[in-house]
Structure 1
Amino acid sequence: MQINISLSTLVQLMAATASLIAALVLTSYPSNIKDQKYAMRLLSLMFICLFCWIALDILSSIEKLNFSSSPIKLSFFSLVFMSFFVPLHYIHIIFLINKRLELLPILIHFAMPISIFTIGMINFNDPKIATLEATVMWLVYIQLLLYWFFELRTGLKILCLKKQKRLRIHKGWLKWVKFYIIILPFLFIPFFLFKVAGYSTQDAILIDIAESIVILSISLALFLRPDFLFGLIPLSFEQRKKTYLNPVINTNSRLNADQYKRLLEQITLYLDELKPHLEEHFSIEQMAKELKVSTKELENYFWEQEGLSFEEYINQQRIIYSQAIIQKGAISKLTLDILAKKSGFKNRIVFINCFKEFTGYNALDYISHFLKIPSNK
C-alpha cells in the first residue's frame, strides 16, 4: 500500500509544533518552588530535543533542502537530538525522586549523545557520515529500548515507595508515567520490526509517522493532563517518622484483610456520595456512627492502611476535592476564601497550609497554572 509522503510530513509538522509549544509553556511557566522549576526546565529541554529531532527530519526529507550537493546529512543530526530525548526524561524522574542531581550520573547518561554529536561535528564535511549514520541509528534505537527498561524499573520503584508510605504521588502524574511507559515502545518497535523484515523507503515513511504520532501524543499530554507537573512529593523525615512510629494499637480492634477491604469500600462510598468531610466540624465519631464501626477500628485503619491520622486523611480528601475544582477551571468563579470553605476548611490560612503539606506546592501557584490552561470537558 502506497502512503503519500505528504501524510508523513503533515503528522511531523503537527508533532514539531506541539512539542515546541510544550517546551515554551514549560520554559515560561512561573514557579516559586525551586525543585518544581528545575524539573520543568528538564522537561522543557526534553521537548526542545523532540522539536529539533522532528524538525531536522522534515528538512532532510524535503529534497530542495536536503543539501544533496553537500556531504552534510541533516538526518544524522536529528539522531543527535533523538539520543538526548530519553536521558532527559529519565533524569527528570530521578530528580523528582531524589530532589538532587549528581554530576557523575549526568555525565554517564549523556555520554552517548555527546559522543554522537562529537562524531557528527568531526565528520561534518566527510562523505563517510552517511555510513556512520546507519551505525548511529542502531545505537540510538537500542538506547531507546534500554531507557524504556530503566523507566519501567523506576516506575515500579516509585509504586513500591508509595506502598511503603515514603512517597506521595499525584494520581495525574502517575497516569502520565504509565502513559509514557506504554507509548515509548512505539518509538523503537517499528524500527526493529522493519529491520528484521527487510528495511525499505516505504518502511522509513511508516517509522516517521509512528514516531511523529508518539511525539504528538507526548506533547499533547502536557495540555490534556497538566496536573502531571505536580507529581512526586517525597515525605519529610518527620512525616516518615510519624508514619512508621504508629501509636499503640489495641489488637482487639485490628481488622483482617477482608474487613479492611470492606471498610475501604464503605469509606469510599460514604465520602463520595455524602461528602461529609466538606463540613468544617466533621469528626471521626460522626463517621464511626454512620458507618456503624468503632472509632478505634477507624483509627487503626487510617494508620495501618493510609499511614495517616483521621484528621490528616480528611484534610487530604479535602485537598483532592479542591484540586478537582481548580483543574476544572471553576476556581475562576471563586475566591480563595470561598474555595477553602467549600472544601471544608475553617479559613484560607488553614487551607493554604494543608495544601502545601499534602501537595508540596503553594496553592496560588497551583491555581495560576490551571487558570492558564483550558479545562477539559
Structure 2
Amino acid sequence: MIDGIAEMYNIADLKKFSITSNSYTVLFIPCFYLYFKYLINNHKHFIFKDLLHIVVLFLAIIEREFLLLDSLFDCKLNYYLSQFVAVYVLVYLVVIFLLLKKNVWHKKATLSFVKTQNNLITKWTILFFIAINAFVLRFFLLYYKEYLFYEPLIIEPTKYLWVTALVWIVLFLIILSNPQLLYGYSYLQVETTKTNSDLKSNNYWNIQSKIKINNNQDQLLKEKISTKIEPYVFELNALLFNNSYFRNPDFSIKDLAQVLNIPNSHLKYIFKYHSKLSFSDYKKISRIQNSLELINNNYLTTNTLESLSKEVGFSSYNPFFTCFKDVVGKSPHQYISSINSD
C-alpha cells in the first residue's frame, strides 16, 4: 500500500521510507505460521502467548528506527541484522513446511465429506505456501546484494509490485468463495460430546436442497414427498445420535427404511438430495456416536478400545481410530483424557 501511494503521488520521502521498510515485511512470516497452526488446530481465538512469534518484528522495527543495539554495543549491526533476518525467514519457512507436511498434506480420513474438505485444504495450503515462498523470494532478489554485500539495488522495489498485488487479490477471492478455509477441520463437524438431534445443531442436512434434479423419477418423487422432507430428516438426525443398529456390519439402507417405517426409495432420495452424508458416512458417524455413549457409560473400565471398535461395528481399531478423529476432532485417547479431567 505504501509503495502504491508513493508511486501514485510521486512522494520522495514516502518512497525512501518504503525502500527502507520493505526488507522488514518478511518478518511477518510468523503470522503465516500462526495461521496454518490455527487452521490445523481449529483455534478461532488468538492465544496471547503466540505474540512471542511476532515480538521479533517489533524489536527489529525499534532497532531500525532508534539503533538501540548500535548505541549499546558501540558498533553497527546492520550487516548482522540483515543476516539474522535471512536466517529467521528461512527457519520459519522450514517450520511451516514441516507443519503442513505432517498435519495437512498427508492427513487421513474415512468419511467422504471429510476427505473432500481435506483435499480442499490441502490444495489451498499448497497454493498459499507457494505464494509465501514467492513473497520471500522477491525479498531475497531485491535485497540480497544490498544488505549482505553492500551493493546497490539493480531492480526497483516497485517495478513488479502489480504482480504481488495480483497474487494477494487471487488469494482473497479464493477465501471469499471457500470460507471454510478459515474454519479448519471443524467446519462440517458437530458438537459430538453430547446427544443432540436438533437440526440446527449441525450441518449434515439440507432441508431446502439446491441440487438440480435431472432424473424424471426423482422429480416425481420430490413432488410426492416434499412435505415429508423435514420429518424424515428429523428422524434420521435423531437416529444418528441414538441407535445401536449399525453394530451389525450388514445393516443396510433397506433395513434402516424398515426401522423408520418409510419407503426405501424415499430414504435414498433424502441421502441423495438432502444430506451431506453418504449412507456409508451416516453409518460410521452413528457408530462413533454409539462409542461415545459407551465410553461415557464406563464401558472402558472393563474393556479395551480394540473391543470397543468391534462392539460398535468396525472391523478393527485402525478404521475406528481414523473415523473417531474425523467426527470428534480428537483421538480416542485424547477424548478419554478430556472427560476424565472434567
Q: Same fold (TM over 0.5)?
A: no
Larger Rg: 2
Query: What is the TM-score normalised by the length of structure 1?
Result: 0.40
Query: What is the TM-score normalised by the length of structure 2?
Result: 0.43
